[in-house]
């Protein structure tokens, strides 16, 4: 068969990937990057207990399709019931299940223009209509998002707090009050991937059984397990149970389950990583200012550097960094695309970035 019988929705979509990974760029460059500062991974690594737990796993066995042990541990960690927790293949996988559960052709979904794009791909894949609102002073705007949801009768609103790609955040009380304006029947998908590195009070005080919100957490960032793909959702028990209608019940591999459990049990390592993230954020800010640039305040494991001009100039700076062996990324929508985004790294990583940035700026300014 030369013409696959795709669904009309699938046939209408472009075959594209929202992220050009460092591996693809290294293949194109025919050389490895000196510093991997673009994907917001934790270069500080997971707890040593994680590798030990993963190696000792009987990998010949399927993972527990109920993720029972990990869900119990997460429930104890958050002091909630395991019925309020669903484990999945990273937040990306959970977002796909949410879209499958809620989005039918023509249904409206609201997000910020330039926000994390994987959610948009899932919505498009089920024929949803994506509605966007602009950022306000480099922050996602809950009031504008919820107003657009009311206008369009949207089923879902996606909001990341802290935000990717800008690193900005709202305090939890602001979000909690904003929920009063969320239209009835609209679900807030609250992506809290970076919550571990955010200031105390960033997470809103919302009960897990609040039917208006589903929260997404991950082991990919501060816990240092991006390659294992472990995320979890916190929500009302009936919504959590609905995932069982559509999810891949053997999607979680056994080693990832064991590694996540070990990571959760080593909170001392997490605290150490958070200290290193804070130190790296300070260093990135200093490097930027040494080169006449400014940064946005960050509650994440990356820092957005304002290049001071437009997206074309920022892209030229980015290209100059990549040419010098520094893997970095940038926002894709104006005016946020005036920035480049630098993940927190080791001292050696940031030394390499500090050495490359002046030359990249010189290139962008025409030599």
Check residue 17 and give its pLDDT.
82
Check residue 3 and give its pLDDT.
65
Check residue 1 and give its pLDDT.
46
Nearest CA to 206 among 242, 230, 182? 182
Check residue 314 and give its pLDDT.
98
Q: CA-based angle 220:204:50, to the nearest 5? A: 25
> Residue 344: how many CA atoms within 13 Å on its side-chain side?
24
Q: Please, what are the domains in the chain?
A: 18-45+268-364 (3.90.1150.10), 48-265 (3.40.640.10)
Check residue 19 and give its pLDDT.
86
CA 96 from chain center: how many Å? 14
Check residue 223 and give its pLDDT.
98
Q: What is the largest CA-CA distance in the chain?
A: 60
Check residue 218 and give its pLDDT.
98
Q: CA-based angle 34:36:38, to the nearest 5? A: 140
8 A C-beta contact, residue 191 and residue 169: no
Question: What's the pTM value of the predicted model, to 2 decimals?
Answer: 0.96
| pLDDT tens by residue, the chain, 367 residues | 456 889 999 999 999 888 889 999 999 999 999 999 999 999 999 999 999 999 999 999 999 999 999 999 999 999 999 999 999 999 999 999 999 999 999 999 999 999 999 999 999 999 999 999 999 999 999 999 999 999 999 999 999 999 999 999 999 999 999 999 999 999 999 999 999 999 999 999 999 999 999 999 999 999 999 999 999 999 999 999 999 999 999 999 999 999 999 999 999 999 999 999 999 999 999 999 999 999 999 999 999 999 999 999 999 999 999 999 999 999 999 999 999 999 999 999 999 999 999 999 999 999 7
């Amino acid at each position: 068969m030369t013409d696959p019988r795709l669904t009309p929705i699938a046939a209408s979509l472009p075959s594209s990937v929202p992220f050009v990974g460092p591996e693809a760029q290294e293949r194109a460059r025919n050389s490895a990057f000196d510093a991997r500062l673009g994907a917001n991974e934790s270069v500080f690594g997971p707890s040593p207990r994680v590798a030990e737990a993963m190696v000792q796993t009987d990998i010949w066995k399927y993972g527990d399709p109920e993720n029972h042990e990990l869900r119990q541990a997460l429930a104890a960690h958050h002091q909630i019931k395991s019925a309020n927790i669903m484990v999945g293949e990273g937040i990306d996988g959970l977002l796909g299940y949410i879209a499958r559960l809620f989005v039918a052709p023509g249904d409206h979904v609201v997000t910020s223009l330039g926000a994390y794009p994987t959610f948009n791909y899932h919505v498009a894949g089920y024929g949803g209509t994506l509605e966007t609102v602009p950022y306000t002073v480099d922050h996602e705007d809950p009031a504008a998002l919820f107003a657009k949801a009311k206008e369009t009768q949207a089923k879902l609103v996606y909001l990341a707090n802290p935000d990717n790609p800008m690193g900005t955040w709202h305090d939890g009380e602001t979000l909690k009050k904003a929920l009063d304006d969320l239209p009835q029947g609209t679900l807030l998908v609250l992506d809290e991937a970076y919550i571990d590195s955010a200031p105390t009070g960033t997470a809103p005080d919302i009960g897990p059984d609040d039917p208006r919100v589903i929260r997404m957490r991950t082991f990919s960032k501060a816990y240092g397990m991006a390659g294992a793909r472990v995320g979890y959702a916190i929500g009302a028990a009936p919504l959590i149970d609905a995932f069982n209608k559509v999810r891949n019940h053997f999607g979680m591999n056994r080693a990832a389950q064991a590694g996540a459990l070990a990571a959760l049990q080593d909170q001392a390592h997490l605290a150490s990583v958070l200290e290193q993230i804070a130190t790296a954020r300070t260093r990135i800010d200093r490097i930027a200012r040494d080169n006449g640039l400014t940064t946005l305040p960050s509650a994440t494991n990356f820092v957005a550097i304002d290049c001071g001009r437009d997206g074309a100039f920022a892209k030229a700076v980015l290209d100059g960094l990549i040419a010098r062996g520094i893997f970095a990324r940038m926002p894709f929508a104006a005016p946020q695309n005036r920035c480049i985004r630098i993940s927190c790294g080791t001292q050696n990583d940031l030394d390499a970035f500090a050495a490359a940035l002046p030359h990249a700026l010189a290139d962008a300014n025409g030599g």
